[in-house]
Amino acid sequence: MKALVVERKGELALREIDIPLTVGPEDVKIAVHTVGICASDLHYYLHGGIGSYRLEMPMVLGHEASGVVVETGSKVVNLRIGDRVCMEPGVPNLSSRASKLGRYNVDPDVVFWATPPVHGAFTPFVVHPAAFTYRLPQSVSFAEGAMVEPFAIGMQAATRAQIVPGDIAAVIGSGPIGIMTALAALAGGCSRVYISDLSSEKLNVAGRYAGIHPVNVADEPFASVISRETDGWGADIVFEASGNARAFKNLFDLVRPGGVAVIVGLPAEAVAFDVHAAVCKEVRIETVMRYANVFDRALSLFASGKVDLKPLITGTYRFADSVQAFERAASANPTDVKLQIRVSEGIPTGRAALFH
């Protein structure tokens, strides 16, 4: 099959690659329709790795995907040929201790698309476990289906925060994950969410959503705004979604006594933070590693209309133009939020849909 392959640091190719497509009894084969470009894809392309995960051989990119089921394994009962689906890209060992605790996202043996050495979804067909494949509601498009994966990170952050209805939240970073975290916090019961960044373009996108209040920290420190808007008390929840090491310097100035700080962004280097400030306020600190048990909930929010991510899709490319799409993503255009690639066009749906 043809696939978008990162050959090595700084080199992408759209080329033929041999990927096994054997459908096991509990698997489904999926014709991939739409795949989003994630920051992690860019890290492998631009830097050759993320943290301890390093490219050692060519790898197919992509893990934010939707498509159509074209073949089912003998034991699959929840999906049928022709179903429109999105796929949760991390597959754990369901017998692991982490899975039994309901925390399968931190299973050390999880197999995750486009994480070395596992190939991803920028290719016409993939085989995936039915247990981690979700039928799209009729009202949810393929493009939205490919947004479930990044939104799931925001859902995980909101879940870890243990939101109480009426909470006020602050989000550091107005990139795709920051905006989606803000939307998940609102859906989870927050009354207001303040979001900060240096990019007026990205803040303008975030500010189009009711309940999200953008703050440009080039004009005023975020802590000053939060203090003013909460009568000096602080935010109930602070989500760090920028991954910028500098954000940790004054992190606990934003949160109220007894509040919670949720670390969503992943800094490229070790960071220092004020333990004394955290202890004096008895701040609860939570961390987010991908997600667990939220994909179906995300789809329910999409189908209900309570969460609309369509305004975040700022560009869609043909599969043939995948390299150009990555070049645009790498340029960090301030008006871009989420770029997607349409791998397959004109996929038939319904039980009679057949692929060979």
Per-residue confidence band for 123, with pLDDT thresholds at 50, 70 and 90: very high
Per-domain boundaries in the chain: 2-147+309-342, 154-287
User: What does the pLDDT read at residue 10?
Assistant: 95
* pLDDT tens-digit map of 239-289: 999 999 999 999 999 999 999 999 999 887 889 989 999 999 999 999 999
Secondary structure in 3-state letters for 14-77:
EEECCCCCCCCCCEEEEEEEEEECCHHHHHHHHHCEECCEECCCCEECCCEEEEEEEEECCCCC
- Right CATH number for 154-287 from 3.40.50.720, 3.10.20.600, 3.30.1490.20, 3.40.50.300? 3.40.50.720
Q: Which two tokens stand for residue 104?
A: 């399968």
What lies within 8 Å, CB to CB, of 286 at 6+ separation is 160, 161, 260, 261, 262, 263
Triad 178, 274, 212: Cα angle to 5°: 25
3-state secondary structure of 196: strand
Which residues does residue 60 pair with via DSSP β-bridges, in sequence order? 5
**Cα distance between residue 41 and residue 96, in whole Å:** 28
pLDDT at residue 356 above 70?
no
Per-residue confidence band for 20, with pLDDT thresholds at 50, 70 and 90: very high
Query: pTM of whole model > 0.85?
Result: yes
pLDDT at residue 355 above 80?
no
Q: What is the DSSP string of 223-285?
A: HHHHHHHTTTS-EEEEEE-S--GGGGTTGGGSEEEEEEEEE-S--SS-----HHHHHHTT-EE
Q: How far is CA 198 from the centre of its chain?
A: 21
Where are the alpha helices (H) located in 71-212, listed in sequence order?
Answer: 97-100, 142-145, 148-161, 176-187, 200-206
Q: Which of 19, 51, 86, 23 is nearest to 296 (CA)?
A: 86
Per-residue confidence band for 352, with pLDDT thresholds at 50, 70 and 90: very low
**Cα distance between residue 42 and residue 320, in whole Å:** 18
User: What does the pLDDT read at residue 225?
Assistant: 98
pLDDT at residue 336 above 80?
yes
Q: What mean pLDDT value characterizes the chain? A: 94
Strand pairing class (255-263; 235-240): parallel
* pLDDT tens-digit map of 308-329: 999 999 999 999 999 999 999 9
* Residues 267/291, Cβ–Cβ less than 8 Å: no
Q: Where does 2-147+309-342 sit in CATH, by number?
A: 3.90.180.10
